[in-house]
């Protein structure tokens, strides 16, 4: 099962987002950064909030199978298969 670590840093009316994609073995597959994100849509079976990974920025842990990550018109979309 892949895991996405999503760091959200709030700004004025938008977020800066750092996203790290790890495979089922715990190896980093890719990292991406997005600026000017106005909304975030996540479709996944399990999403956790982690304070242990970082106090600031806000951190989400998303467990997904075969994640698809897209951004359009200021909306970051994360979609993955069921657990």
Which sign, positive or negative, has the C-alpha torsion 55, 13, 46, 82? negative
Distances (CA, A) of 6 to 31, 37, 64: 10, 13, 13
pTM of the predicted model as reported, rounded to 2 decimal places = 0.79
Residue 44: predicted pLDDT? 84
The length of the chain, given as a count of residues: 83
Distance in angstroms (rounded) separating the CA atoms of residues 78 and 69: 5
pLDDT tens digits, 25-62: 999 999 999 999 999 998 887 888 876 666 677 888 88
Between 83 and 72, whose confidence is greater?
72
Residue 6 has pLDDT above 70, yes or no: yes
Residue 55: predicted pLDDT? 64
Distance in angstroms (rounded) separating the CA atoms of residues 49 and 39: 17
Tell me the average pLDDT of the chain: 86
Spatial contact of 19 and 9, defined as CB atoms under 8 Å apart: no
Domain locations in the chain?
2-81
């Amino acid at each position: 099962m892949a895991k996405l670590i999503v760091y959200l840093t709030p700004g004025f009316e938008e977020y800066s987002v750092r996203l790290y994609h790890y495979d089922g073995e715990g190896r980093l597959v890719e990292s991406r950064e997005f600026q000017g994100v106005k909304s975030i849509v996540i479709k996944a079976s399990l999403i956790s909030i982690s304070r242990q990974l970082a106090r600031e920025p806000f951190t989400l842990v998303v467990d997904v199978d075969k994640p698809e990550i897209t951004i359009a018109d200021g909306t970051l979309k994360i979609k993955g298969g069921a657990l």
